Amino acid sequence: MSKRNDSDLWRALESTGRSPNLSTIKRLFEKDPERASRMSAEQSGIFLDFSRNHIEPNTLQRLMELCQQSHLSDQIAAMYAGKKINLTENRSVLHTALRNTTPANDHGLTQISFDVKESLKKIKIISDLFRTKQLTGATGKSLNTIINIGIGGSDLGPRVVYKALKNESSSIVHYVSNLDAEDLETVINEVDAERTLVIVTSKTFTTQETLNNANRALARLSTQLKLPKDDIIRKQMIAITASPETAINFGITESNIFEFWDWVGGRFSVWSAVGLSLSMSLGFEVFEELLHGAHEMDTHFATAPYEKNIPVLLALVGLWNINFRKQTNLAVLPYSERLGLLPNYLQQLEMESNGKSVDRSGSRIDYTTSASIFGVPGTNFQHSFAQHLHQSPTETPCDFIGIVNPPHSDQENANALLSHCLAQVECLSFGRQETSGETKISAESEMPGDRPCNVILLKELNAMTLGALLAAYEHKVFVQGVIWNINSFDQWGVELGKSLSKSYNHIFENDGMGDVSQRAFSERLIEQIGKYRPSSAE
- For residues 478 and 75, what is the distance between their CA atoms, to the nearest angstrom? 9
Q: Residue 108 above 80 pLDDT?
A: no
Q: Where residue 205 sits, what CATH number does that domain have?
A: 3.40.50.10490
pLDDT tens per residue, range 29-70: 999 999 999 999 999 999 999 999 999 999 999 999 999 999
Same-domain pairing of 175 and 49: no
Helix (H/G/I), strand (E/B), else coil: 258? strand
Whether residue 80 is contained in a domain is answered as no
pLDDT tens per residue, range 264-310: 999 999 999 999 999 999 999 999 999 999 999 999 999 999 999 99
Percent of the chain with pLDDT strictly greater than 90: 84
Residue 158's pLDDT is 98
Residue 103's pLDDT is 60
Element housing 478 (H / E): helix 463-484
| Amino acid letter, 408 | H
Same-domain pairing of 463 and 497: no
Q: 100-136 in b/e burial notation, b at 16+ Cβ within 10 A?
A: bbeeeebeebeebeeebeebbebbbebbeebbeeebe
* Residue (of 266, 392, 418) closest to 329 by Cα position: 392
Same-domain pairing of 509 and 498: yes
Q: Residue 409 above 90 pLDDT?
A: no
> Residue 490: which pLDDT band, with cuts at 50, 70 and 90?
very high
Strand ranges for 129-276 from DSSP E: 145-149, 172-176, 196-201, 237-241, 257-259
What is the maximum span of the chain, computed from C-alpha positions, in angstroms?
Answer: 81
Whether residue 508 is contained in a domain is answered as yes
Given 255, 288, 321, the domain boundary residue is 288
Residue 237's pLDDT is 98
Q: Residue 157 above 50 pLDDT?
A: yes
Same-domain pairing of 225 and 101: yes
Same-domain pairing of 131 and 276: yes
DSSP 283-301: -HHHHHHHHHHHHHHHHHH
Q: Residue 145 above 80 pLDDT?
A: yes
As annotated, the active-site residues are: 352, 383, 498
- Rounded (to 5) percent helix, strand, coil in the chain: 55, 15, 35
Q: Residue 98 above 70 pLDDT?
A: yes
Give the predicted TM-score (pTM) of the model. Answer: 0.95
Whether residue 169 is contained in a domain is answered as yes
Same-domain pairing of 333 and 372: yes
Q: Residue 434 above 80 pLDDT?
A: no
Residue 517's pLDDT is 64
Same-domain pairing of 500 and 380: no
Same-domain pairing of 497 and 486: no
Same-domain pairing of 36 and 139: no
Q: Residue 436 above 70 pLDDT?
A: no
Residue 355's pLDDT is 97
CB 191 within 8 A of CB 147: yes
Strand ranges for 111-210 from DSSP E: 145-149, 172-176, 196-201
Query: Interior CA angle at 196 toward 133 and 150, to 5°?
Result: 120
- Residue 365 Ramachandran class (φ > 0 left, ψ -120 to 50 alpha, else beta): beta
Taking residue 528's Cβ as centre, other Cβ atoms within 10 Å add up to 11
Q: 310-325 in b/e burial notation, b at 16+ Cβ within 10 A?
A: bbbbbbbbbbbbbbbb
Same-domain pairing of 265 and 149: yes
DSSP 266: G
> Residue 486: which pLDDT band, with cuts at 50, 70 and 90?
very high
Whether residue 537 is contained in a domain is answered as no
- For residues 278 and 20, what is the distance between their CA atoms, to the nearest angstrom? 50
CB 472 within 8 A of CB 310: yes
Same-domain pairing of 145 and 284: yes
Angstrom distances, CA of residue 504 to CA of 498, 511, 527: 10, 11, 12
CB 492 within 8 A of CB 438: no
Whether residue 79 is contained in a domain is answered as no
Whether residue 85 is contained in a domain is answered as no
CB 195 within 8 A of CB 147: no
Domain hosting residue 527, numbered range: 493-532
Helix (H/G/I), strand (E/B), else coil: 495? helix
Whether residue 78 is contained in a domain is answered as no
Same-domain pairing of 110 and 59: no
Number of domains in the chain: 3
The distance of Cα 164 from the centroid of its chain, to the nearest Å, equals: 13
> Residue 439: which pLDDT band, with cuts at 50, 70 and 90?
low
How confident is the model over 496-521, as a mean pLDDT?
Answer: 76
Q: Residue 1 above 50 pLDDT?
A: no
Residue 440's pLDDT is 75
Whether residue 527 is contained in a domain is answered as yes
Given 288, 323, 353, the domain boundary residue is 288
**Cis, bond preceding 379 (omega within 30 deg of 0):** yes
